Structure 1
Amino acid sequence: MKSILIIGASRGIGLELVRQYTEAGRRVIATVRDDAGRERVQALGADVLTVDVANPASVSGLAWQLDGEKLDLALYVAGVIRRPNALTPPTQQDFDAVMHTNVLGAMQAIPQVAPLVADAGGVFAFLSSSMSQIGSVPNSESWLYRTSKAALNMAVAAAQHNYPGATLVTIDPGWVQTDMGGGTAPLTVEDSVRGLRNTLASVTAADKGRLLHHDGRRASHW
């Protein structure tokens, strides 16, 4: 039986992805960082792995924990934000927190997970952001976050060449009512995830390495 892997499922979009896919009858394997996240995910009927994506040693265990699995869909959802603009230099602590979670964790996960996705001819999607698009930069707000998501887009597009059996994409969930997006965001978590699921179901080989939007649009630049 082919399964779905969701990396970073403790809360927000990741947790809602678990809920919607399990309700649709899919077998879901989800990663969390702590016991509270484990309880939330287990309550939805998913299998749970403990992984800290900011810790390369933790991510390196994914391959053996997933040994024998066929993944027709994997999602890297984990992400953090820091909001200062370019008038303020990022601290070392903020730089490490954002880059380790948003970029390094994804780059550590790709060699562990992409072969399993390729074996199933599946899709490996990474949550990015419209704020990553270098062709559309209205300001420097969340400067470090923007930079990390642009780096993620490149990491995924480059890695695609090594895993021709899988389709690797980045995907923008929209501005969502999560801890990161805030309560004034126009999209509920439920609506964002419904859009993500529909868009992921429409992915073809022509999308390899591309940035997609939750509403199905394909980005013309990223």
Structure 2
Amino acid sequence: MAHWLVVGASRGIGLEAARQLTARGERVTASVRDAKGLAALEAAAPRAATLQFDTRDEAAIRAAANQISDPIDRLIANAAAYGPKRQSSLDMDFDGALDLLSTNTLGPLRVVQAFLPLVRRGRAPRIVMMTSILGSMAIEGTFNVAYRVSKVGLNKIARCLAADLKKENVIVVAMSPGWVRTDMGGPDAPLDVADSVAGVIETTETLKLADTGRYLDYRGADIPW
């Protein structure tokens, strides 16, 4: 039984991950941002331990990390947002874009840095930075520019963490869950959240040190940077 930390478990992929992991008997600690998210998490995964923080708040993250003493074997940095309505290269809500970068790009790094002492003590520790295929520079398109940029930045952070932590045998990957039917993905997305999350968990469990620094989809296939 591994100890999983799932960050951003109030809805969507994070909530389903907490549900599936607890259902199969894993030890789960999951974070939410507010009381509404906490209620949803407790209903879906009542056996999960809970933490509450916003990934933009470094002090709150570090305070939450201090509430845990046991090693973390798997860290899923999942919390993210879509961003402002105006986010094209010709019409950008700059304040909204900066806030999105704080959530999607720097938020996961704040989490990793705060919980890293516990991850270092974990069994075959793995860190999964939940990204998007829209973070690939190979993907065409000009919509949701701020969101794309936030995920490109997250991908680079994942590669840097992988390089810095490889000598400590900590595996770090960037992983896309696919286009999933969630509040963020919308009703037209082709992938069911349960199928996506099952793939994320399976792929995470099969990672080896040679995989560190890869950019993967939920099935374990490489995505072009």
What TM-score, normalized to structure 1? 0.93
Structure 2: runs of 5+ lacking an equivalent = none
Q: Which residue number corresponds to residue 32 of structure 1?
A: 32
Amino acid at match of 1:213: D
CA distance in 1 between counterparts of 2:196 and 2:29 reads 20
- 2:131 aligns with one of 128, 133, 141: 128
Q: Report 1:7-86 matches (<5 A).
A: 7-43=7-43, 44=45, 45-66=47-68, 68-82=69-83, 84-86=87-89
1:79 aligned counterpart, secondary structure: coil
Q: Report 1:29-178 matches (<5 A).
A: 29-43=29-43, 44=45, 45-66=47-68, 68-82=69-83, 84-92=87-95, 94-120=96-122, 121-134=124-137, 136-163=138-165, 164-178=168-182
What TM-score, normalized to structure 2? 0.91
2:129 aligned counterpart, secondary structure: strand
Structure 1: runs of 5+ lacking an equivalent = none
Residue identity (%): 33
CA shift in 2, pair 1:215/1:2, >3 Å: closer
Q: Which residue number corresponds to residue 182 of structure 1?
A: 186
- CA offset at residue 62 of structure 1? 3.3
| C-alpha contact 2:52 2:64 (8 A) present in aligned 1 | no
CA distance in 2 between counterparts of 1:129 and 1:97 reads 18
| C-alpha contact 2:169 2:209 (8 A) present in aligned 1 | no
1:25-59 superposed Cα distances (whole Å, 9 cap, x missing partner): 01100001111211222231211011111222212
What is the CA RMSD across the aligned residues, in angstroms? 1.5
Q: Which residue number corresponds to residue 203 of structure 2?
A: 199
